[in-house]
């Protein structure tokens, strides 16, 4: 068992060695530009790119022509949302999304607001899920696009996208789905979910950083205004020389994901449950943030009452995790995702996100259970709030002077 | 977060964690911060008849910087008179621990905690309070100008 232990698979994933192996020739001998149409270096690069395109398309139930390569899911989100809104701006100016979306979606929406579009940011239920009825109620005659992610990166909560897709399809509104955390982990199919645009990221599925994809439906055809001009690559959707090694890696990662998803999902789920049950058996006053049933197999987001998140992360420094605490963010704001779910600020400050994945072992889980239990106990001994609770005082009833 | 060695030391080996008897007339208790902000410090001092702080204890709900700041001030106040303890400034704490700019507010809270504990002791012992528990002398205005205090303060 290697220290430090990595349990932050939602932030990024280690590259699968098989992916690296597939990529290497494209750095050394097969270095051609895939757009060089006139010689064998270019042809071989293009062949590799197209093979990868097939694989990524297959992963999500699309055809190869519907996959556009980007620099990552942030770019894909920007291209989908801004590109669609700008293309359709003559027809309307309203967009719908959800408060718990990734910043790449939210900030793209805010940018469009500054340009005169109107955006509705929907609330979620306490368990983190978006109720499709809210989407239906928010649609207006001039709504252009709805953007709802498949699985949330902080809480792992899985939204009912098939139901949302049915609603948007019936109303003739485009549906963009950020599938970054779900693709390759749980079944995601663009036909089943009636999705028109989908963002994907290689480094969340054991591929390299710096490459992603946008699924753009062709039947019926979705049109976008490109963000990147200059040469018309990717059918005019995204200019720029392709990151051939990265794309090859993404393709290989997609192949592996398809082959191993089911078995891996079951294994990771079992480990996650071991972690969850192990921690709950050792400690009291621990709450799960988000639905347990509708959740990514590898995600565990827990709040440890009366212990602050950054202090806990420092205490378990042998384990890489992340927290929804304000102290861990540059803006000193606690997690907006937890807040949208109605988690009180003090519990948001006490939250830790564990992300398990392909290379997590049982030994690591057992070690983390023991370590977390030990450190939470130690920090609770130091906590004035826990002391109050043990004395029978409810800290939430106190009028805090807040000279802060 | 890249923390200094001194900070990490105070975090790993916090000094004077615990509680004194609140009802003891020689004990002053200061409770500052708010759970919603992610920072709560309880600082207690035991003062003898000469006005010298004989013992200090703390408990903190907060990040590594908050824990280190409160641990440090319990060390500093021990052996000082109440008046001497009142001269401890948050900038002293921040400099000693090399707090990153985004964590300066933890040192401010530690200074508040000392003053709150002293004010409580003064009240219990019929002394005129030398400073109100919810004001901080000196650098608050400076810090606000630099943007180092959390919004809404």
Identify all chain A residues contacting B108, using CB atoms and an 8 Å cutoff: 404
Q: What is the pLDDT of residues A73-113, one digit of tens each?
A: 999 999 999 999 999 999 999 999 999 999 999 999 999 99
Q: What is the mean pLDDT of residues A355-374?
A: 97
Q: Which residue carries 């439906």 as its tokens?
A: A217
Check pLDDT > 50 for residue B26: yes
Q: What is the mean pLDDT of residues A263-281?
A: 98
Within this chain, domains A5-9+261-397 and A17-257 share the same CATH topology: no
| Nearest by CB: A382 against B65, B67, B109 | B67
The residues, ordered by sequence, that sit 6+ positions from B97 with a Cβ below 8 Å of its Cβ are B4, B6, B7, B10, B65, B68, B69, B72, B107
Check pLDDT > 70 for residue A143: yes
User: Considering Cα of B149, then B61, then A153, then A256, what sign does the dihedral take?
Assistant: positive
User: Hey, of A316, A327, A376, A385, which one would you mutate to test binding to chain B, going by the most B CBs within 10 A of its CB?
Assistant: A327
Check pLDDT > 70 for residue A127: yes
Q: How high is the pLDDT of residue A346?
A: 87
Check pLDDT > 80 for residue A374: yes
Q: What is the CATH number of domain A5-9+261-397?
A: 3.90.1150.10
Q: Catalogue all structural domains in chain B, each as residue range(s) with its CATH number.
A: 5-146 (3.90.1010.10)
Check pLDDT > 90 for residue B132: no
Tokens of A8: 């932050």
Assign A119 to helix, strand or coil.
Answer: strand
Check pLDDT > 80 for residue A329: no
Mean residue pLDDT across chain A: 95
CB–CB of B35 and A327 under 8 A? Answer: no
Q: How high is the pLDDT of residue B149?
A: 53
| Local structure of residue A295 (DSSP, 8 states) | B
Residue spans of the domains in chain A: they are 5-9+261-397, 17-257
Q: What is the pLDDT of residues A304-322, one digit of tens each?
A: 999 998 899 889 989 999 9
Check pLDDT > 60 for residue A275: yes
Q: Which of A187, A211, A185 is nearest to A200 (CA)?
A: A211
Better pLDDT: A160 or B137: A160
* B40 shares contact with chain A (CB less than 8 Å): yes
| CA closest to B103 among chain A residues | A327
Q: What is the mean pLDDT of residues B7-36?
A: 93
Q: Read off the pTM.
A: 0.88
What is the radius of gyration, based on Cα positions, of chain A? 22
Distance between CA atoms of residues A325 and A332, nearest Å: 8
Q: ipTM of the assembly?
A: 0.80
Q: What is the mean pLDDT of residues B26-54?
A: 92
CB–CB of B40 and A384 under 8 A? Answer: yes
CB–CB of A334 and B112 under 8 A? Answer: no
Tokens of A77: 């989100």
B63 is catalytic: no
Q: How high is the pLDDT of residue B143?
A: 54
Check pLDDT > 80 for residue A35: yes
Catalytic, out of A58, A98, A177, A327: A327
Q: What is the pLDDT of residues A150-190, one digit of tens each?
A: 999 999 999 999 999 999 999 999 999 999 999 999 999 99
Q: How high is the pLDDT of residue A333?
A: 78
Q: What pLDDT band is residue B133 in, cutting at 50, 70 and 90?
A: very low
Better pLDDT: A371 or A334: A371
Fold of A17-257: 3.40.640
């Amino acid at each position: 068992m290697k220290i430090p232990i990595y349990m932050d698979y939602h932030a990024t994933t280690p590259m699968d060695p098989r992916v690296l192996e597939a990529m290497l020739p494209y750095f050394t001998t097969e270095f051609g530009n895939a757009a060089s149409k006139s010689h064998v270096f270019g042809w071989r690069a293009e062949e590799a790119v197209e093979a990868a395109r097939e694989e990524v398309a297959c992963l999500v139930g699309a055809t190869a022509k519907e996959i556009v390569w980007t620099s990552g899911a942030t770019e894909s989100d920007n291209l989908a949302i801004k590109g669609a809104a700008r293309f359709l701006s003559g027809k309307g100016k309203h967009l719908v999304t959800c408060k718990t979306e990734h910043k790449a979606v939210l900030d793209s929406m805010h940018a469009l607001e500054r340009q005169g579009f109107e955006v509705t940011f929907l609330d979620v239920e306490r368990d983190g899920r978006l109720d499709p009825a809210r989407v239906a109620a928010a649609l207006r005659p001039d709504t252009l696009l709805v953007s709802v992610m498949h699985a949330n990166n902080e809480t792992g909560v899985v939204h009912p996208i098939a139901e949302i897709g049915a609603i948007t399809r019936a109303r003739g509104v485009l549906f963009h789905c950020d599938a970054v955390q779900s693709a390759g982990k749980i079944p995601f199919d663009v036909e089943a979910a009636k999705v028109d645009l989908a963002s994907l990221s290689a480094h969340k599925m054991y591929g390299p950083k710096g490459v992603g994809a946008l699924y753009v439906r062709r039947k019926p055809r979705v049109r976008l205004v490109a963000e990147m001009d200059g040469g018309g690559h990717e059918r005019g959707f995204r200019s720029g020389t392709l990151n051939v090694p990265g794309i090859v890696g993404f393709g290989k990662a997609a192949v592996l994901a398809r082959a191993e998803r089911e078995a891996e999902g079951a294994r990771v789920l079992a480990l996650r449950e071991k972690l969850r049950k192990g921690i709950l058996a050792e400690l009291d006053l621990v709450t799960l943030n988000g639905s347990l049933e509708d959740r990514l197999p590898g995600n565990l987001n827990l709040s440890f009452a009366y212990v602050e998140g950054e202090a806990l992360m420092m205490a378990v420094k042998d384990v890489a995790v992340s927290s929804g605490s304000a102290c861990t963010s540059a803006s000193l704001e606690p997690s907006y995702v937890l807040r949208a779910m109605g988690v009180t600020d003090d519990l948001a400050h006490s939250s830790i996100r564990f992300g398990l994945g392909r290379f997590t072992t049982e030994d690591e889980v057992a070690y983390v259970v023991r370590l977390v239990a030990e450190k939470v106990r130690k920090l609770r001994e130091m906590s004035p709030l826990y002391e109050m609770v043990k004395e029978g005082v409810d800290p939430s009833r106190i009028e805090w002077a807040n000279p802060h | 977060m890249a923390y200094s060695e001194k900070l990490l030391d105070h975090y790993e080996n916090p000094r004077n964690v615990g509680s004194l008897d609140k009802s003891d007339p020689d004990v002053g208790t200061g409770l500052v911060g708010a759970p919603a902000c992610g920072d709560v410090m309880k600082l207690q001092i035991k003062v003898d008849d000469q006005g010298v702080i004989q013992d200090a204890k703390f408990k903190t709900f907060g990040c590594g910087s908050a824990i280190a700041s409160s641990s440090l001030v319990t060390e500093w106040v021990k052996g000082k008179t109440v008046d001497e303890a009142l001269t401890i400034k948050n900038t002293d704490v921040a400099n000693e621990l090399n707090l990153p700019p985004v964590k300066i507010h933890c040192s401010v809270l530690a200074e508040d905690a000392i003053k709150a504990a002293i004010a409580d002791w003064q009240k219990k012992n019929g002394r005129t309070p030398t400073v109100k528990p919810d004001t901080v002398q000196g650098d608050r205005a400076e810090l606000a100008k630099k943007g180092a205090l959390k919004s809404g303060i």
